[in-house]
């Protein structure tokens, strides 16, 4: 293993996981908002980003909001989730997928992950409906920009009369059978936060084909004001609308979405080629049916090439071993060279806040596995569900589209050195 005094040089400026890439036109639209004095949550930039999103994604209505999380919250509310209602949610994801269910008093039940796309496992979802036939809402994500097994998941939801909320926060521009993600659920959400494929520094969007639902989100997101000469309120509202200044940044970014995807794809392909002799695989996708946006390149280490790694609640340890490595070793090593990676999202069923919630794998189970090590087993007897296994063996690689191929080649060599 190399460290920072090895023959690799520490990068002068940090190589980020995924940082904003600006082009100049963003500033023109921000300036326009300033000069026309539409420094507000109304204005031309907002109208334009909503139009551009509908045009690109192929949905009828888009409502620009302050964050992807806000759009997920609006979706959960529209889906009618009430206090105590169980909702099936992707397990391997960012907490923002799930938290809006709790805002409305719903109870997330986590559905395990499959290995083909690292998304919600249709077999586990089917099992979950057998266990909880009363569930009527499913929140599913397209992790790291890779479309889930949408047809299978949708067929199961249709069979059980459940509505899909599609969390396409990470997958803007990705397609499944030629159709954009963000069009498969009844309610769909995207994010423009600072690390996304295009960004406004923050921001999100609610997408739907239903005009009435879009109008409800417009109303709720601006404090639910009724049509009256004064401020009249009949229901709870939120201050969730996007700023016209942020919308200016997103408006400028939209024209670069395809360029960013092409750059991210090239990064993914370079890693794949660079790691071909290592005992690792890249984050997989269904090449016959889908085209990811390649937002983050990730890898997963073969089970038999994992050195010993122990993760506590907030700390991690490993024992370096010849020919083997682990995410902790790789992340710590690249960090020494001023390179940012990240662990895979820690599954929701392992999170202290959610670990007492039910969790369904394709084998049933119905209870979160809170302990990765079986009592009475040896310390090598690791019992994992798929999500926990991917978290254990996987990591997100630096995927910044400003990283040069020379820089990436050095990072590949640094990672290879972890297995020496």
Ligand X SMILES: Cc1ncc(COP(=O)(O)O)c(C=O)c1O
Q: Among residues 50, 121, 167, 385, which is the contact residue for ligand X, using CB under 6 A?
A: 167
Q: Which two tokens stand for residue 194?
A: 């600072």
Could you tell me the smallest distance in angstroms from the CB atom of residue 194 to ligand X? 8
Which of positions 338-357 make contact with ligand X (CB under 6 A)?
A: none
> How far, in Å, CA of 243 to CA of 93, rounded?
27
Which CB sits closer to ligand X, 93 or 309?
A: 93
Binding-residue pattern over the window 262 to 301 for ligand X, x denoting contact by CB under 6 A: ----------------------------------------
Taking CB under 6 A as the binding criterion, the range among 50-58, 164-172, 258-266, 360-368 that sits at the site for ligand X is 164-172
- Examine residue 64 and tell whether it contacts ligand X (CB under 6 A): no
342: three-class secondary structure by DSSP: strand
Smallest distance, ligand X to C-beta of residue 416, A = 29
Buried b (16+ CB within 10 A) or exposed e, 271-288: beebbeebebbbbebbee
Contact status, residue 363 vs residue 89, Cβ threshold 8 Å: no
CB of 396 to ligand X, least distance (A): 11
* DSSP track, 153-184: HHHHHHHTTPEEEEE-TT-TT-EETTEETTSS
CA 351 to chain centre: 17
Measured CA to CA, the distance from residue 5 to residue 322 in angstroms comes to 20
Could you tell me the sign of the dihedral formed by the alpha carbons of 286, 290, 294, 295, in that order?
A: negative
Of 68-107, which residues contact ligand X (CB under 6 A)? 68-69, 93-94, 96-97
Taking CB under 6 A as the rule, which mask of x and - marks residues 196-235 in contact with ligand X?
--------x-------------------------------
- In three-state secondary structure terms, 306 is strand
Q: 14, 58, 118: which is closest to 394 by C-alpha?
A: 118
Q: Is 170 in the site for ligand X (CB under 6 A)?
A: yes
Nearest approach, Cβ of residue 53 and ligand X (Å): 14
Q: Nearest-CB residue to ligand X? A: 68
| 306 touches ligand X by CB under 6 A | no
* Among the residue ranges 42-50, 146-154, 165-173, 363-371, the one whose residues contact ligand X (CB under 6 A): 165-173
Joined together, the tokens standing for residue 262 give 């092409």
Three-state DSSP class for residue 6? coil
Minimum distance from residue 203 beta carbon to ligand X (Å) = 7
Q: Cα separation of 210 and 388, whole Å?
A: 37
If the CB atoms of residues 153 and 301 are measured against ligand X, the closer one turns out to be 153
Site residues for ligand X per CB under 6 A: 67-69, 93-94, 96-97, 141, 167, 169-170, 191, 193, 204
């Amino acid at each position: 293993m190399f460290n920072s005094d090895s023959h690799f040089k520490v990068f002068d400026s940090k190589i980020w996981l995924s940082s904003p890439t600006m082009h100049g036109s963003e500033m023109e639209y921000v300036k326009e908002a300033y000069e026309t004095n539409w420094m507000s949550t109304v204005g031309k930039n907002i109208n334009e980003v909503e139009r551009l999103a509908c045009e690109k994604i192929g949905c009828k209505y888009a409502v620009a909001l302050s964050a992807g999380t806000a759009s997920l919250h609006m979706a959960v509310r529209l889906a009618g989730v009430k206090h105590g209602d169980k909702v099936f949610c992707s397990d391997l994801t960012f907490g923002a997928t799930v938290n809006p269910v709790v805002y409305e008093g719903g109870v997330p039940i986590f559905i395990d992950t499959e290995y083909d796309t690292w998304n919600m496992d249709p077999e586990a979802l089917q099992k979950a409906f057998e266990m909880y036939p009363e569930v009527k809402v499913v929140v599913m994500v397209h992790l790291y920009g890779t479309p889930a097994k949408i047809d299978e998941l949708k067929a199961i939801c249709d069979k059980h009369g459940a509505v899909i909320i599609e969390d396409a926060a990470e997958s803007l521009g990705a397609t499944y059978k030629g159709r954009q993600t963000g069009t498969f659920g009844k309610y769909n959400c995207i994010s423009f936060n600072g690390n996304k494929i295009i960004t406004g520094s923050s921001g999100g969007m609610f997408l739907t084909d239903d005009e009435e639902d879009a109008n409800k989100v417009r109303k709720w997101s601006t404090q639910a004001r009724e049509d009256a000469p004064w401020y009249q309120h009949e229901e709870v509202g939120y201050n969730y609308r996007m700023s016209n200044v942020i919308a200016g940044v997103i408006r400028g970014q939209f024209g670069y979405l395809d360029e960013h995807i092409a750059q991210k794809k090239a990064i993914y392909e370079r890693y794949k080629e660079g790691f071909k002799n290592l005992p690792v695989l890249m984050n997989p996708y269904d090449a016959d049916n889908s085209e990811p946006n390649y937002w983050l390149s990730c890898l997963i280490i073969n089970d038999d090439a994992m050195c010993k790694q122990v993760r506590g609640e907030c700390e991690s340890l490993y024992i370096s071993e010849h020919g083997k490595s682990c995410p902790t070793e790789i992340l710590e090593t690249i960090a020494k060279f001023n390179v940012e990676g990240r662990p895979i999202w820690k599954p929701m069923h392992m999170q202290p806040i959610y670990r007492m919630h039910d969790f369904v794998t394709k084998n049933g189970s119905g209870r979160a596995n809170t302990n990765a090590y079986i009592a009475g087993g040896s310390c090598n007897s690791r019992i994992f569900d798929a999500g926990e296994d991917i978290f254990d063996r996987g990591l997100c690689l630096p995927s910044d589209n400003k990283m040069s191929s020379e820089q990436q080649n050095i990072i590949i060599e640094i990672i290879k050195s972890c297995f020496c």
